[in-house]
Amino acid sequence: MGIRVAVAGASGYAGGELLRLIAGHPEFDLVAATAHSQAGRPVAAVHPQLSGLNLMLTATEPAELADADLVFLALPHGQSGALAAQLPAGTKVVDLGADHRLADAAAWELYYNSAHAGTWTYGLPELPGQRERIAAADRVASTGCYAVATVLALAPLLRSGIAAADDVVVVAASGTSGAGKNAKTHLLGSEVMGDLSPYKVGAHQHVPEIKQATGALSLSFTPILAPMPRGILATVTARPLGGADPREVLQAAYADSPFVHVLPEDVWPHTAATAGSNSAHLQATFDVDSGRIIVVSAIDNLGKGAAGQAVQNANLMYGLPETTGLSVFGVAP
Ligand SMILES: NC(=O)C1=CN([C@@H]2O[C@H](COP(=O)(O)OP(=O)(O)OC[C@H]3O[C@@H](n4cnc5c(N)ncnc54)[C@H](OP(=O)(O)O)[C@@H]3O)[C@@H](O)[C@H]2O)C=CC1
Ligand SMILES: CC(=O)N[C@@H](CCC(=O)OP(=O)(O)O)C(=O)O
């Protein structure tokens, strides 16, 4: 028997992708998959892509997770704090939700409109020193989907001092799975297909997370819902302060990161090229007119933006190579 793993929120999009990755992981054994309204149904009835995985969804209760060495929480915001507090102290936990990401309780309450559950080790291994912190942690708060795409593009620019921390603009498009498997009118096919729409304009909940992870002082962030199931494409621009070329700064920052790829010159990221992988694709240049630094970043929101990132964190928590059970390569087109 390997590491006994449970997924809470297994009927959702992030939970389903976690099940797929865990089923193919050489060191993880799936022992429980829990759900809310879908509890009592077979996994394959909810996730047909997982036909052949013979497991029932049980109710999301501490007793259902108690036998696991490692628990992934893929629950709606506000649901993981109370559950995590009832798990045995020795259980390792990776939370895909936002509940434990922010150190600033006031920012949490402002953006999430609920009580702050506390702060865990931030699960973005590509930040300096973070692999070691994650490896030493029992509880890890995996990153937000837009935050991964943005922080990977922005953090090296601010760390190296080549961009101004008080003048950052981000416009990012996400596929609809980023909104979860919910019956919401704005997510209907007839609303989404053939349409691009901005939402949460001027007040997205990932802004404080991005600022915390990068040291950005001021950030304009505009998300766009895109007519595709998966993927995030973020365009990050910042005022240059002089110094090194941004592309070279990114290359140096991620030289030892197996999942972050600065593409060959003049090749720009596409979401489809990251689908099914845990990779992030980056490209950078200067804007000819304004002189601003432009970095474009693409990820699979369910991969590096959610389930893949969570498995990468769990690998580090168990001293495994961070790539174990994860694909560097995308599946499309
Ligand atoms: N989708 C994405 O791209 C990303 C998601 N995340 C985060 O991961 C978490 C899961 O997201 P996602 O999979 O998209 O969401 P979904 O809406 O697709 O899934 C939510 C899961 O939580 C369960 N659930 C719903 N309500 C409750 C409740 N009141 N108590 C306990 N369980 C409940 C659902 O069960 P049932 O279906 O049985 O009702 C389902 O298993 C969220 O915190 C999200 O923000 C993070 C990064 C990216
Ligand atoms: C398309 C879409 O609606 N995306 C969601 C992403 C939510 C999410 O995944 O939030 P956390 O990563 O913080 O848990 C949004 O913009 O709110």
Domain ranges of the chain: 3-142+304-317, 145-301
Q: Is the CB of 143 under 6 A from ligand 1?
A: no
Class of domain 3-142+304-317: alpha beta
- The sign of the dihedral angle between the CA atoms of 46, 75, 200, 308 is negative
CA 180/CA 184 separation, integer angstroms:
10
**Alpha-helix runs per DSSP H in 160-301:** 189-192, 206-214, 246-253
Distance 8 CA to ligand 1 centre (A): 9
The CATH number of 145-301 is 3.30.360.10
CB–CB of 270/298 below 8 Å?
A: yes
pLDDT(92) > 90: yes
Nearest ligand to the C-alpha atom of residue 108: 2
Distance 36 CA to ligand 1 centre (A): 10
Q: What is the pLDDT of residues 170-214, one digit of tens each?
A: 999 999 999 999 899 999 999 999 999 999 999 999 999 999 999
Q: What is the pLDDT of residues 29-78, one digit of tens each?
A: 999 999 999 999 999 999 999 999 999 999 999 999 999 999 999 999 98
Element (H or E) spanning 57, and its range?
A: strand 57-59
> What residue owns the CA closest to ligand 2's atom 17?
179
Which of the residues 3, 73, 145, 173 is marked catalytic? 145
> Mean of the per-residue pLDDT values for the chain?
97
Q: What is the pLDDT of residues 226-260, one digit of tens each?
A: 999 999 999 999 999 998 999 999 999 999 999 99
Residue with tokens 């501490």: 62
Residues whose CB is less than 8 angstroms from the CB of residue 17 and which lie 6 or more positions away in sequence, other chains included: 302, 303, 306, 307, 308
Number of neighbouring beta carbons within 10 Å of residue 69:
18
Residue 52 designated active-site:
no
